[in-house]
Amino acid sequence: MKKGVQMFTVRDYMNDRQQVERTLRTIREIGYDSIQAATPEFMTHREFKGCMERFGLGTYSANADFETMRDNPAEFAAAVEQAEIYGVSYIAIGTLPEEMRESPQGYRRFAEQAGQVGQRLLKDGIRLLYHPHALEFYSFGKGLKGMDILMDETDSKSFHFSLDTHWLACGGVDICDWLKKAKDRMELVHFKDYAIVGGANTVETVCKGFAEVGEGNIDWPKVIDTCRETGVQAVAVEQDVCPGNPFDSLRISFENMVKLGV
């Protein structure tokens, strides 16, 4: 599996062209071979792609806002153009709109709308890439969760997932079960550890934190084996909050992944 970085981890180090180059150089020097990122506002897609290539880094997906792409033909075309420039077959979108997140009807409405966008993209050989967090595991009772609706009511050809190990753990579900559920519609997984940290004032308080791969509570050998079994081709390390320099955290995650056989 390829080992990459979700660039949200180093978002504070992408503020100008010099920072971008230093950041990409450091990521490559650590050993990562790819990134997942949106083009910085001060660069064109071609400039950013050229910068990635200069440092020997590939990329996983283009990026777009779902609602903008849904409602604005020009933005839809721009997202397709970005994917073509990047040479990728995925356009990553964020979490479903807030007003759709806490009812089955909302999830079904999103699944329908995303399905329509996905079918339009598929004509250009592109698929939507959806990154769930914990909120998609909102329970509606009788065993039904928001993610069940997204999984069951979207087209497996046009709507794919990039599940996240931390958010699966945070959602209270079995990580490997969901990796298996996404088989054949997931090539990329976000690797992020889930740690219980200090600060609890009562025994009922759960204080959780983001951790480097291998430094938290996730059963990584089992997760990695399941990724291989289900055909995952790449992992992107993402750490929303780091205890210090994010590049130090990225190095720890990379070294631990190597030890784990990734």
**pLDDT digit of tens for each residue in the chain (262 aa)?**
999 999 999 999 999 999 999 999 999 999 999 999 999 999 999 999 999 999 999 999 999 999 999 999 999 999 999 999 999 999 999 899 999 999 999 999 999 999 999 999 999 999 999 999 999 999 999 999 999 999 999 999 999 999 999 999 999 999 999 999 999 999 999 999 999 998 888 988 889 999 999 999 999 999 999 999 999 999 999 999 999 999 999 999 999 999 999 9
Encode pLDDT of 81-99 as tens digits.
999 999 999 999 989 999 9
Cβ atoms within 10 Å, residue 187 = 22
Which residue from 38, 62, 35, 58 is spatially nearest to 129, judged by alpha carbons? 62
Cβ atoms within 10 Å, residue 105 = 10
Please give the pLDDT value at position 134: 97
Strand partners, 90: 127
Residue with tokens 């997204």: 150
User: What does residue 66 show for φ and ψ, rounded to 5 degrees?
Assistant: -60, -50
CATH class of this structure's domain 2-190+218-259: alpha beta
Question: What is the C-alpha separation between 174 and 183, in angstroms, rounded?
Answer: 15
pTM value is 0.95
The full set of domain ranges for the chain reads: 2-190+218-259
Token code pair at residue 5: 């970085």
